[in-house]
């Protein structure tokens, strides 16, 4: 008989277990590392996509603001060529362009209008494209005597009646927007073209100062306005031979070589553009201005979005590791608890003395578990802080220049400051106090100007109407001229009933009343007794009539038919353009009312009739 095989020893049964355990541990670590890496990469991809989309949405919002600012800069002077093309003096000048007195009158008129409206230049071309008069007639680089018959704005204005064209001036080499308007001749043809050149270069400095990356391109894709100087006069794509020949023949952009922007692809995907010594990477959004044939491009940098995605991916990886460690700790706890329960069941009857040691071990284990749970909570809190740490800062708003609106109050303030110092040294306390009061009034005047400018920025038009109290509107307008009323000793009598309400737009109505009051004060400047009366009465069942009367001697009968004509004024040069009553009449007509002028016993009366606001 064969002898029985001896049983395997305990040590031989456990020989292979450490190796298998080590192998499973290594495999488990690699699996956990792969999971953490996958979560991190997925979080990075999702966060980068979300941040990029947020960047695009922010770019679209900024693009809307940029378009509104550019549109306002263009539309601000759109009316000027049309008004000049209807001017009787311009028609008379084109009828005899060789008359010296008419040449001088047109040059001086254009010069005064250009200075008041702050446009770059105003000039008039005859039917052959030869410049006959210009606002810069007395400057070295004057337009007078130069032919611009080849320029597109002249050709388009002759063919279509009006033209808008951006280019570099062939005489001054300065860029600008040329707005042309054809002047009809007596025979039904075109007698000439009035051109207004608008300088838009200031917008680029505002964009650059605000940190915006903005480009404006024409229909051929050539950038002519940009926040970065090296982007100007460079096409976004290679030009066709036709476009290149047209631009060079018209000398639209001077002597620019029209090299495409290097590495730019504005159709899709991220783009790289030079910005000084560096390259800027970002996504591009655009909006078209169909009436002008322009396209506005906004480049939003993607660097902050990439950094935010990296932070979120890092936080996600840390959170994933924290969850894995928590699961491992829980699994370890379960394994230990099972082992302890098995040991207690096997040793409970034999080792009663070790109960206290096992209880102590359990207490230590609970403390370790609590510590790990606290660590998990701290890690999750850190994750929340990292997620919210990468917020984008909002850019500042684009504002238009208002320095020309407050130059006069500021000049008065400087004068008062200088004189106050002199009177203070003389010890004239009464004059010092009076000057301080006037300075306060001047600052209040500046505040009111800024308030009105902000109100006008809402772009409310005649279609926006509401119930407006005539007395409140008149008192608001009186506040604006209160300092002048006191200074000139004008007696004001306002007897407007409180129930007088009309349908109008408040800011525009106040503008009309202010124009009427200023004209009345100007008319009373040379008389000894100055009296301004504001009255209102019901006109039928559906209207209110507001009358502004002065004691300035009235309107000459020969001028009565011209008081509402554009640019007609009896004031001396430099005191006005003659547009106040003309614009007021247009505003009132938009409200569905009328504005009329008449003479009273000792002055003029301007009557404003507006629809009543029922209820």
What is the length of the chain?
615
End-to-end CA distance of the chain: 126
pTM of the model: 0.45
274 and 151 within one domain: no
| 384 within domain boundaries | yes
| 11 within domain boundaries | no
581 and 514 within one domain: yes
Query: Which CATH number do you get for residue 256?
Result: 3.30.450.20
Strand order from edge to edge, sheet including 604-611 = 491-495, 531-539, 543-550, 604-611, 594-599
pLDDT given at position 574: 54
pLDDT given at position 329: 79
102 and 49 within one domain: no
**Total domains present in the chain:** 5
Contact 40, 320 (CB under 8 A): yes
Contact 149, 131 (CB under 8 A): no
Q: For 269-305, what is each residue's pLDDT tens digit? A: 677 676 766 667 777 888 888 888 888 888 777 666 6
Q: For 200-216, what is each residue's pLDDT tens digit? A: 888 888 888 887 888 89
104 and 175 within one domain: yes
| Both structure tokens of 327 | 């699961």
pLDDT given at position 405: 44
| Both structure tokens of 440 | 């306060």
Of 359, 375, 400, at which residue does a domain stop? 400
The mean pLDDT values, 10 residues at a time, for the chain of 615 residues are 50 53 63 73 69 74 86 86 90 89 91 90 92 91 90 90 87 88 88 92 85 85 85 84 85 82 61 70 81 84 67 74 76 82 79 74 87 73 36 29 53 74 79 80 73 54 75 83 82 90 85 85 86 89 90 80 73 63 82 86 88 77
Which residues does residue 215 pair with via DSSP β-bridges, in sequence order? 226, 297
| Tokens 């029922």, residue located | 614
Query: Which CATH number do you get for residue 588?
Result: 3.30.565.10
Instruction: Please give the full DSSP string across 368-433, using - where no structure is assigned.
Output: HHHHHHHHHHHHHHHHHHHHHH-PPPPPPPP----HHHHHHHHHHHHHHHHHHHHHHHHT-HHHHH
478 and 594 within one domain: yes
Pick from 520, 514, 524: nearest CA to 474: 514
Query: Burial, 132: exposed, middle or buried (Cβ in 10 Å; 0-12, 13-18, 19+)?
Result: buried
253 and 359 within one domain: no
150 and 100 within one domain: yes
Strand order from edge to edge, sheet including 234-235 = 234-235, 222-226, 214-217, 294-301, 278-289, 271-275
Cα separation, 445 vs 244, in Å, equals 53
């Amino acid at each position: 008989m064969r002898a029985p095989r001896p049983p395997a020893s305990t040590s031989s049964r456990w020989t292979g277990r450490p190796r298998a355990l080590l192998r499973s541990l290594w495999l488990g670590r690699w699996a956990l590392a792969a999971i953490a890496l996958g979560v991190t990469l997925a979080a990075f991809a999702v966060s980068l996509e979300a941040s990029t989309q947020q960047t695009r949405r922010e770019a679209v919002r900024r693009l809307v603001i940029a378009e509104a600012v550019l549109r306002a800069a263009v539309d601000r002077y759109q009316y000027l060529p049309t008004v000049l093309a209807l001017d009787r003096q311009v028609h008379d000048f084109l009828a005899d362009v060789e008359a010296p007195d008419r040449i001088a009158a047109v040059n001086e008129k254009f010069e005064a209008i250009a200075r008041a409206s702050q446009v770059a230049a105003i000039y008039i071309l005859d039917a052959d494209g030869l410049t006959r008069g210009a606002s810069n007639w007395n400057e070295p680089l004057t337009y007078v005597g130069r032919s611009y018959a080849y320029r597109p704005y002249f050709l388009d204005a002759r063919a279509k009646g009006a033209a808008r064209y951006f280019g570099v001036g062939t005489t001054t080499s300065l860029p600008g927007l040329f707005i042309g308007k054809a002047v009809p001749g007596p025979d039904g043809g075109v007698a000439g073209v009035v051109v207004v050149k608008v300088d838009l270069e200031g917008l680029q400095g505002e964009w650059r100062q605000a940190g915006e990356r903005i480009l404006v391109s024409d229909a051929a894709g050539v950038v002519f306005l940009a926040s970065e100087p090296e982007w100007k006069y460079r096409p976004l794509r290679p030009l066709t031979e036709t476009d290149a020949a047209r631009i060079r023949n018209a000398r639209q952009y001077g002597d620019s070589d029209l090299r495409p922007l290097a590495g730019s692809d504005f159709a899709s995907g991220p783009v790289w553009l030079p910005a000084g010594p560096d390259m800027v990477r970002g996504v591009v959004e655009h909006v078209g201005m169909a009436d002008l044939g322009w396209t506005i491009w906004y480049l939003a940098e993607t660097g902050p979005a990439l950094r935010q995605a990296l932070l979120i991916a890092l936080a996600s990886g840390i959170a994933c590791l924290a969850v894995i460690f928590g699961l491992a700790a829980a699994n370890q706890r379960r394994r230990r608890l099972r082992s302890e329960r098995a040991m207690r069941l096997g040793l409970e009857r034999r080792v009663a003395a070790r109960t206290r040691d096992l209880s102590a071990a359990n207490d230590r284990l609970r403390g370790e578990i609590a510590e790990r749970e606290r660590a998990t909570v701290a890690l999750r809190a850190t994750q929340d802080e990292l997620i919210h740490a990468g917020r984008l800062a909002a850019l500042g708003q684009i504002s238009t220049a208002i320095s020309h609106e407050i130059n006069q109050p500021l000049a008065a303030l400087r004068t008062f400051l200088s004189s106050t110092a002199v009177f203070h040294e003389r010890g004239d306390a009464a004059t010092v106090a009076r000057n301080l009061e006037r300075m306060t009034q001047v600052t209040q005047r500046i505040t009111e100007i800024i308030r009105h400018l902000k109100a006008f920025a809402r772009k409310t038009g005649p279609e926006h109407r509401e119930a407006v109290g005539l007395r409140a509107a008149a008192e608001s307008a009186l506040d604006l001229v209160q300092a002048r009323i006191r200074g000139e000793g004008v007696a004001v009598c306002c007897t407007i009933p409180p129930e007088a309400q009309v349908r109008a737009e408040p800011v525009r109505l106040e503008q009309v009343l202010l124009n009427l009051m200023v004209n009345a004060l100007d008319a009373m400047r040379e008389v000894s007794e100055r009296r301004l009366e504001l009255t209102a009465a019901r006109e039928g069942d559906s209207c209110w009539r507001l009358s502004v009367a002065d004691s300035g001697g009235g309107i000459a009968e020969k001028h009565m038919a011209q008081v509402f004509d554009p640019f007609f004024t009896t004031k001396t040069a430099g005191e006005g353009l003659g547009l106040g009553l003309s614009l007021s009449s247009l505003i009132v007509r938009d409200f569905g009312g009328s504005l009329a002028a008449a003479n009273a016993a000792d002055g003029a009366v301007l009557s404003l009739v507006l629809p009543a606001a029922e209820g």
